[in-house]
Amino acid sequence: MELSHRSERRFSGIPVAPGIARAAVMVQWEEDEEIALRIIASDDLPEEIARFESALIATRAELLEIQQRIASAIGSNDASIFDAHLLVVEDRTLIDEVLRRIEEDRCNVEYAFHQVAEKYCRSLSQIDDPYLRERVVDIEDVTRRIIRNLLGKAPRNPAAHDQPHIVVAHNLTPSDTAQLNRTLVMGFATEVGSKTSHTAIMARALEIPAVVGIHGLCQDLTSGDDILIDGYTGTIILNPSPETAAEYARIASQKSQIVERLGLIRETASTTVDGCHIVLSANVDLSDELDDMAESGAEGIGLYRTEYLYLNRIAPPDEEEQFEHYRRAAERARPHGVIIRTLDIGGDKSTQSLHLPEEQNPFLGCRAVRFCLQNPEIFRAQLRAILRAATFGDVRIMYPMISGLDELRQANAVLEQSKAELAARGVPFHPYIEVGIMVETPSAVLVADHLAREASFFSIGTNDLIQYSIAVDRGNENIAHLYSPTHPAILRMIGMVVDAARARGIWTGVCGEMAGDVLLTPLLLGLGVDELSATSAVVPRVKKAVQSLDVSRCRELVRQALEMDDAAAIAELSTRMARECYAEIAD
């Protein structure tokens, strides 16, 4: 098909799935169902409730069919995304509230369900945690399906198009994305969204180039327009010129070759040019991501986040359920280890399974180890599960948000109680499990020498450390530019932690976003970090960076950086070395 060339125009968004594609646009407009209020007679209430139950059953069947189709196409790991959707259909709190509203207000079930679901979405959308805010999309996805079933309408198919195209929409739900025909959908772009959304995860799993967060894009494009999507940089190009098209063809070929070469180093060691081995492990949110960890070439799991076991449910997971998750992680990580971070949840994360206090400033409130120490029964159940799982592999415990030695000692006292409880029950466990801490508060940095006496290792959570040290909320658009990993204070603090650890013979890792940023790898190696833990997707790139660097040169780089007072200049210094040593993955 010959596409006309008018003036070229570019739009910038957030890249969430890599790749480059060019095709005609299909603009998909949202069609919100009109929900009318009807008063129901008392005699008709049983029929209304039956309609609701039938719609829930039909929606569950739809979701299971999508999940099975995705599992067949790309594996059960990515299909597990729809477990969260199925939990919404089975959420007794939501269902009971809808039934109560039908009976008390005598209103039709469509109206009652829509009102209750909207209330849930409003509550989640006000939470500070971006992961939980993204779950609003999941609830809205399921809500629309239930309402369409209540109205007797067929499920919507967002990809009903028989020619190659790029989908542009205000938003795409995970189930919309799952239904995209990979042979015809060359990519998609949305006006809203983020890298943590299930839609973004689905796009990466389906290997469809995707860009999100381009406000007003639907208004600027018309179905049939010629566009090029760059999922690496988050760029959408309307009416690409012949020169632009040729340049992107070259980039696409180059990127393909890089991916192939990175695949070849999967089984190699992350050792620097001058022979320094850096442990390179993966951050894992759920046990379903264990396959990604293994395929990335990571040396085990450097951060196993456990809070997601507590979300989207009414009751917290018991010891047995947690044990099964941790055991699978331990076995899958062998011969390498897994570091399990204890529950890192608080007032900023909403879950029905835990009674969390409402706080004006949740990031400075009862979260992480503070919550655990105030809820010892919940804490002990998790610790018992970890101790038992440690008999199946190299498992270590890591406490989050430790601010001083007293908190570490309190947490360890609960750990000893948990060991005693298992011993009394005659249940096998690892009595000498290693215990480390997350260093993510300035106070922990300043007393790192004290903490190193009683911790087995340190893992620096750079995301929170930067936030607390510079006093900046990255979610606040007015000050997000102040969030800087190369701020001189941050580099000094990382250096202080490493020095304190080495003085006591323990190792230091980094598990925040800095660990996965190959432009900053020279700084981290120069600061003396022993381990880097990043998301599985970026592990091969970090490995390539490590293998291309000389630690002695990195130390000289850090010496220069610590004499500088400008974060941007420090970033540029590190970027220059990155581009000099591994330009193909640094750009």
Q: What is the pLDDT of residue 328?
A: 93
Q: What is the pLDDT of residue 258?
A: 86
Same domain, 57 and 204: no
CATH at residue 145: 1.10.274.10
Q: What is the pLDDT of residue 466?
A: 92
Q: What is the pLDDT of residue 230?
A: 94
Is residue 131's pLDDT more than 70? no
CA–CA separation, 38 vs 481, rounded Å? 50
Is residue 205's pLDDT more than 90? no
Is residue 347's pLDDT more than 50? no
Q: What is the pLDDT of residue 241?
A: 93
pLDDT, mean of residues 320-334: 94
Residue 354's nearest CA partner among 299, 294, 421, 307 is: 307
Is residue 1's pLDDT more than 50? no
In a domain, 491, yes or no: no
Q: What is the pLDDT of residue 476?
A: 60
Q: pLDDT class for 4, splitting at 50, 70, 90?
A: very low
Is residue 332's pLDDT more than 60? yes
pLDDT, mean of residues 305-331: 86
Same domain, 513 and 565: yes
Q: What is the pLDDT of residue 196?
A: 58
Q: pLDDT class for 290, splitting at 50, 70, 90?
A: confident
Same domain, 27 and 130: no
**pLDDT tens, residue by residue, 119-130:** 878 777 766 565
Same domain, 288 and 422: yes
In a domain, 486, yes or no: no
Q: CA 532, 536, 539 angle in degrees (round to 5)?
A: 50
Those residues with Cβ within 8 angstroms of residue 405's Cβ, 6 or more apart along the chain or in another chain: 447, 450, 451, 454
CATH at residue 233: 3.50.30.10
Is residue 402's pLDDT more than 70? yes
CA–CA separation, 290 vs 284, rounded Å? 7
- Mean pLDDT comparison of 56-70, 105-119, 353-367, 516-530, highest-scoring range: 516-530
Same domain, 137 and 162: no
Question: Domain residues for 184?
Answer: 9-31+157-242
Cα–Cα separations (whole angstroms), residue 300 to 114, 277, 377, 437, 513: 44, 15, 29, 18, 18
Q: Are 162 and 183 in contact (CB under 8 A)?
A: no
**Catalytic residue IDs:** 198, 511
Q: What is the pLDDT of residue 2?
A: 44
CA–CA separation, 574 vs 395, rounded Å? 34
Q: Note every long-range contact of 510-513, with CB atoms under 8 Å and residues 24 or more positions apart, other chains counting.
A: 510/459, 510/460, 510/462, 511/283, 511/302, 511/303, 511/438, 511/459, 511/460, 511/461, 511/462, 512/460, 512/461, 512/462, 512/463, 512/464, 512/465, 512/466, 513/462, 513/463, 513/485
Q: What is the mean pLDDT of the chain?
A: 86
- Mean pLDDT comparison of 12-21, 90-99, 309-318, 437-446, highest-scoring range: 437-446
CATH at residue 293: 3.20.20.60
Domain boundary among 150, 181, 208: 150
In a domain, 501, yes or no: no
Is residue 487 helix, strand or coil?
A: coil
Same domain, 108 and 162: no
Which residue did the predictor score with more confidence, 81 or 83? 83
Q: pLDDT class for 18, splitting at 50, 70, 90?
A: confident
Same domain, 284 and 410: yes
In a domain, 262, yes or no: no
Q: What is the pLDDT of residue 471?
A: 87
pLDDT, mean of residues 289-308: 87
pLDDT, mean of residues 297-306: 92
Same domain, 73 and 18: no
Is residue 546's pLDDT more than 60? yes
Same domain, 140 and 282: no
Is residue 295's pLDDT more than 90? no
Q: What is the pLDDT of residue 533?
A: 96
Which residue did the predictor score with more confidence, 356 or 531? 531
Same domain, 291 and 419: yes
Same domain, 207 and 64: no
Domain boundary among 150, 171, 186: 150
Q: What is the pLDDT of residue 73?
A: 55
Q: pLDDT class for 287, splitting at 50, 70, 90?
A: low
In a domain, 485, yes or no: no
In a domain, 259, yes or no: no
Q: What is the pLDDT of residue 351?
A: 55
Is residue 84's pLDDT more than 80? no
Is residue 158's pLDDT more than 60? no
Q: What is the pLDDT of residue 135?
A: 65
Same domain, 59 and 121: yes
Is residue 31's pLDDT more than 80? no
In a domain, 479, yes or no: no
For the ranges 28-32, 279-283, 421-425, which has the lowest average pLDDT?
Answer: 28-32
Q: Which helix (H) or strand (E) holds 187?
A: strand 185-190
pLDDT, mean of residues 92-97: 85
Estimate the crossing angle of helix 567-586 against helix 488-503, to 10 degrees. 80
For the chain, how many structural domains are there in total?
3
- Mean pLDDT comparison of 190-194, 208-212, 416-420, highest-scoring range: 416-420
Which residue did the predictor score with more confidence, 264 or 354? 264
Domain boundary among 116, 150, 184: 150
**pLDDT tens, residue by residue, 40-51:** 888 888 998 999
Q: Which residues pair with 438 in a beta bridge?
A: 459
Which residue did the predictor score with more confidence, 273 or 360? 273
Q: What is the pLDDT of residue 569?
A: 96
Q: What is the pLDDT of residue 256?
A: 83
In a domain, 535, yes or no: yes
pLDDT, mean of residues 27-42: 78
pLDDT, mean of residues 556-576: 96
Query: What are the DSSP E strand ranges found in 390-518?
Result: 394-399, 435-439, 457-460, 507-510
pLDDT, mean of residues 397-423: 97
